[in-house]
């Protein structure tokens, strides 16, 4: 797949609830995921198994009440951005929250090799 196909499938998967399923299809085995802040395990997660672990933690911790995923915004032939707007409920505390973040995805060799997430941290 080229970058535009990967971007379109990533967005479609996010909208359809196939995020975890798409990891094996769209991500390189040694892909890197970078958060804006350290949540206790470091900002960077390396490898597809680590990224799957991030998804598992999210799904175990939060119930998604509403989500909007923008169309992909290409930047040349090797990167694209997506805006995520999500309303969640913490499964343990019941607290609801709204978040907005930008994901930047780097593509090489027909796979996502790096994702970076930007969001308010204060």
Checking if the pLDDT of 122 tops 80, the result is no
User: Smallest Cα–Cα separation from 82: which of 30, 15, 11, 9?
Assistant: 11
Share of the chain above pLDDT 90, in %: 93
Task: Summarize the confidence of residues 49-78 as an average pLDDT.
Answer: 95
Checking if the pLDDT of 32 tops 80, the result is yes
Q: Could you tell me the fold of the domain covering 3-118?
A: Nuclear Transport Factor 2; Chain: A, (3.10.450)
Q: Say how far apart CA 82 and CA 51 lie, in whole Å.
A: 18
What pLDDT is attached to residue 37? 92
| CA-to-CA separations, 112 to 45, 62, 67, in angstroms, rounded | 14, 25, 22
Q: Say how far apart CA 57 and CA 80 lie, in whole Å.
A: 25
> CA-based angle 56:57:58, to the nearest 5?
90
Q: Say how far apart CA 7 and CA 122 lie, in whole Å.
A: 29
What pLDDT is attached to residue 39? 79
User: Smallest Cα–Cα separation from 117: which of 34, 2, 6, 53?
Assistant: 34
pLDDT, tens digit, 9 for 90 and up, residues 68-93: 999 999 999 999 999 999 999 999 99
């Amino acid at each position: 797949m080229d970058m535009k196909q990967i971007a379109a499938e990533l967005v479609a998967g996010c909208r359809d609830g196939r995020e975890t399923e798409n990891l094996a299809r769209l991500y390189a085995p040694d892909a890197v995921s970078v958060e804006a802040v350290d949540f206790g395990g470091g900002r960077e997660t390396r490898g597809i198994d680590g990224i799957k672990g991030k998804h598992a933690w999210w799904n175990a911790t939060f119930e998604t009440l509403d989500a909007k995923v923008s169309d992909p915004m290409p930047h040349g032939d090797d990167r694209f951005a997506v805006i995520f707007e999500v309303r969640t409920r913490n499964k343990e505390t019941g607290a609801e929250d709204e978040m907005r973040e930008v994901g930047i995805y780097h593509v090489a060799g027909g796979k996502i090799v790096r994702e970076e997430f930007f969001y308010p941290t204060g």
